[in-house]
Structure 1
Amino acid sequence: MGKIVEMNERTTASCESIARREDNSGCSIKDVMALVKECGAVPSTNENFIASIVFTKRAEREIFMTLETHEERFEWLTRKHEWMTRNDVSK
């Protein structure tokens, strides 16, 4: 039983260490959500809501970061929301 407890403690410590790592690539959720707001997708808009869902995935954040203007970013978010709503990806 003591060995199981020890292994559990190590696993927990390892998971916490991974969770604390900072993303210095400029693609952190915090960085990307700041750009979401800057492009006009403020809280309570469909675009902001969809960003909060899709940007939990790093690949989605990286795609968004390739867009160069506020207009391109807002349009991408609008289309992403429309696509996800039309295709009901929650099923």
Structure 2
Amino acid sequence: MQDQVSKIVSFHERSTASVESLARSREDNSGLSIKEVMSIVKESGAAPGTKEFFIASELFTKKAEREMFMTLDTPQERFEWLTMKHFVKYGH
């Protein structure tokens, strides 16, 4: 019985290590932190209190949204994109 318990414990430890490894591999390694992207949001003309700043604060908790925003080349393109995202979500 002790041998079976040892096998179960060993299996559990391997499973836990595997899950932890998978979780680490899915972490955001892009270097684009929320704080860094929100700084770029401000540089694009979206000041705190504006609808563009607000939508950015909602969107950029998601890595894919931050990455998409950063593909845009100019501050104007970024500002216009934020304006459109706000319009699509809220209709005004």
- Same fold by TM-score greater than 0.5: yes
Specify the alignment match of 2:81 in structure 1: 76
Paired residue secondary structure (2:37): helix
Matched, 1:39 2:62: no
- Deviation of 1:26 (Å): 3.5
Q: Distance in 2 between matches of 1:47 and 1:24?
A: 26
- Which protein shows a greater Rg? 2
Matched, 1:56 2:50: no
**For the aligned residues, what is the CA RMSD?**
1.7
Q: Distance in 2 between matches of 1:26 and 1:34?
A: 14
Q: Which 4+ runs in 1 deviate beyond 4 A?
A: none
Paired residue secondary structure (2:61): coil
Structure 1: runs of 5+ lacking an equivalent: 1-13, 87-91
Taking structure 2 as the reference length, what is the TM-score of the superposition?
Answer: 0.66
Decide whether aligned partners of structure 1 residues 30 and 59 sit closer, same or farther in structure 2, where only a CA change above 3 A counts.
same
Structure 2: runs of 5+ lacking an equivalent: 1-19
